[in-house]
Amino acid sequence: MKIRFLNGPNLNLLGSREPGIYGAATLADIEAAVRREASELKVEVDFRQSNIEGEIVTWIQDSKGVFDVIVLNAAAYTHTSVAIRDAIAAVKIPTIEIHLSNTSAREEFRHHSLVAPVCIGVISGFGVNSYILGLRAAVTVKAS
Ligand code: DQA
């Protein structure tokens, strides 16, 4: 089974970015934790980040026929990107939306996700564990 993790804008700054909200772990720390868990679960993981919306759209498109599940932290694009939502709907790869923070407990503009309606479900508010829970959820999803 192959699972692709996609990370959106500013997640490259984790570790120094608003640590009170996002924690002290860097994205490299999170990737290492995900890879450790993936090897326990005997699944293959691809892990990437971009600040560019179109690059994330292209990665979603390129996932077709290659990855069984996408685990997506679209970061701020969660709340704005019709293009990312449309890409998920187009490729029909089961996708799990994740967030480090509990977006429902934050500013109102973070309460709405354009991506959630085309995802299987959402994991939000568990810090680094949102990624681990996302991985565990992904392995339970049968490729369609
Ligand atoms: C985030 C939540 C988003 O609202 C925010 O724009 C991010 C990170 C999270 O992981 O908590 O950049 O996706």
Supply the pLDDT for residue 142: 67
How many angstroms is it from 33 CA to the middle of ligand 1? 19
Answer whether 104's CB lies under 8 Å from 112's CB.
Answer: no
Residue 5 reports pLDDT greater than 60? yes
Q: Where are the alpha helices (DSSP H) in the chain?
A: 19-22, 27-41, 53-62, 82-91, 128-139
Per-residue pLDDT reduced to its tens digit, 67-103: 999 999 999 999 999 999 999 999 999 999 999 999 9
Q: In the predicted model, what is the mean pLDDT of residues 119-144?
A: 93
Q: Please classify residue 6 by burial: count the beta carbons closer than 10 Å to its beta carbon, then call 0-12 exposed, 13-18 middle and 19+ buried.
A: buried
Segments making up each domain of the chain, as ranges: 2-143
Run of H or E residues at 44: strand 44-49
The reply to whether ligand 1 has any atom less than 6 angstroms from the CB of 101 is yes
Topology of domain 2-143 in CATH is Rossmann fold (3.40.50)
Atom index in ligand 1 nearest the CA of residue 110 equals: 4
**Region of residue 42 (phi > 0: left; psi between -120 and 50: alpha; otherwise: beta):** left
Q: Could you report the per-residue pLDDT of 49-70, keeping only the tens digit for each?
A: 999 999 999 999 999 999 999 9
